Amino acid sequence: MLDSRVTFHQQLNAEDLIWRYEQGEREFGAVDLQQIDLIRLNLRDINLSRCSLDWSNLSASDLSHANLNRADLNHAKLLGTNLTEANLASANFSEADLSWVNLQGAILTGADFSEANLRQAKLINADLSCANLRGANLTGIDLTGVNLCRADLRQANLSGVDLSGANLCRADLSGANLNGADLSHTNLYKADLSNSYLRQVNLENAFLKRASLRRANLKGANLSGAVFREINLSIVSLSEFNLQSVLLSSRINLSSANLSEANLSKAILTKSNLSYALLHETALIEASLQGANLTDASLLNADLRGAMLKNSSLSDINLTEATMPDGSVHP
C-alpha cells in the first residue's frame, strides 16, 4: 500500500516524486529536493511546503494551486512555470530565475525575491505584501492591481512597468528605477521613493500622501490629479512637468509639501494647492502659478523670475530674500 505521507526531510529523486504524484499522492512537505529537475510536468495542487528546492529546475511545469509555503528555491529556475493561485507565502526565491513565470492570483506575502529575475512575469492581482524584491529585475512585468503594501523594492528595476492601481502603501522603493512606469491610480501612502528614478513616470491620480520623494528624479513626469499632501519632495528635480488642463476636481495638492531646493522652473502649477508648503531656495523661474493657493507658504530665497502669479492667493506668504518675477529681491 502506498505510504500517504513523505517523512520529514526525506530525500526524493525526480523519478520517485513523479511516480508517487501519478499514484495520487500530493503531500511532499519538508522534502529535500535540492537540484531536482521537474521540467514540463503537471504538478497541480502539489504540496511542497517547507521543501528544499535550491538550484532546482521547475521550468515550464504546471504548479497552479500548489503549496510552496516557506519553500527554499534559492537559485532555482522557474522559466515559464505556471504558479497561478499558488501559495508561495514566505518562500525564498532569492537569485532565482522566474522570467515569464505566471503568478496571477498567487499568495506571495513575505516571499523573498531579492536579486531574482522576474522579467516578463505575470503577477496580476497577486499579493506581494511585505515581500522582499530588493534588487530584483522586474522589467516587462505586469503588476496591475497587485498588493505591494510594505514590500521591499529597494534598487529594483521597474522601468516601464505597469503598476496602475497597485497598492504600494508604505513600500520601500528607495533607489528603484521606475523610469517610464505607469503608477496611475496607485496607492503610495507613506511610500519611500527617495533617490528613485521617476523620469517620464505616469502618476496621474496617484495617492502620495506622506510619501517621501527626497532626491528623486521626476523630470517630465505626469502628475495630473495626483495627491501630494504632507509629502517630502525636498531636493527633487521637477522640471518639465506638464500639469496643464487639470480639472477642478483633480487639482494638484501640495499642501504642507517640502519642496525646498526643488527645480520647478517652467512647471505648470495652475490652481495648485501650495498652502503651508516649504519652498526654500526653490527654482520657480517662469513657473505658471496663476490661481494657486500659496497661503502661509515659505519662499525664503526662492527664485520667481518670470513666474506668473495672477489671481494666486499670497496671504501670509514668506518672501524673505526671494527673487521676484521682475528680478527684484524682496527684503
Partners of residue 122 on adjacent β-strands? 102, 142
Is residue 289 assigned to a domain? Answer: yes
Is residue 288 assigned to a domain? Answer: yes
Residue 246 above 90 pLDDT?
no
For 182-192, what is each residue's pLDDT tens digit? 999 999 999 99
Is residue 270 assigned to a domain? Answer: yes
Mean pLDDT (the chain, rounded): 87
**Among 6-20, 84-98, 111-125, 236-250, the least confident range:** 236-250
CA distance 98 to 161: 16
CA distance 179 to 219: 10
CA distance 196 to 163: 15
What domain count does the chain have? 1
Name the most confidently modeled range: 85-99, 191-205, 251-265, 281-295.
Answer: 85-99
Is residue 187 assigned to a domain? Answer: no
Residue 2 above 60 pLDDT?
no
pTM of the shown model: 0.72
List CB contacts of 1: < 8 A, sequence separation 6 or more. none
Residue with cell 513575505: 110
Is residue 280 assigned to a domain? Answer: yes
Is residue 158 assigned to a domain? Answer: no
Is residue 138 assigned to a domain? Answer: no
Alpha carbon separation from 237 to 189, 198, 203, 262, 263 (Å, rounded):
21, 10, 15, 6, 5
CB 216 within 8 A of CB 196: yes
CB 48 within 8 A of CB 69: no
Alpha carbon separation from 130 to 68, 133, 183 (Å, rounded):
17, 9, 19
CATH number at residue 314: 2.160.20.80
Is residue 211 assigned to a domain? Answer: no
Please choose, from the candidates 62, 63, 5, 61, the residue with its C-alpha nearest in 3D space to the C-alpha of residue 31. Answer: 5
DSSP conformational letter for 249: G
Expressed as residue numbers, the domain containing 250 is 233-330
Query: pLDDT-based confidence at 218, cuts 50/70/90?
Result: confident
The pLDDT value recorded for residue 273 is 85
CA distance 173 to 192: 5
Residue 317 above 80 pLDDT?
yes
**Among 145-149, 190-194, 271-275, the least confident range:** 271-275
For 98-115, what is each residue's pLDDT tens digit? 999 999 999 999 999 999
The pLDDT value recorded for residue 144 is 80
Residue 264 above 90 pLDDT?
no
Can you tell me the mean pLDDT for 237-249? 42
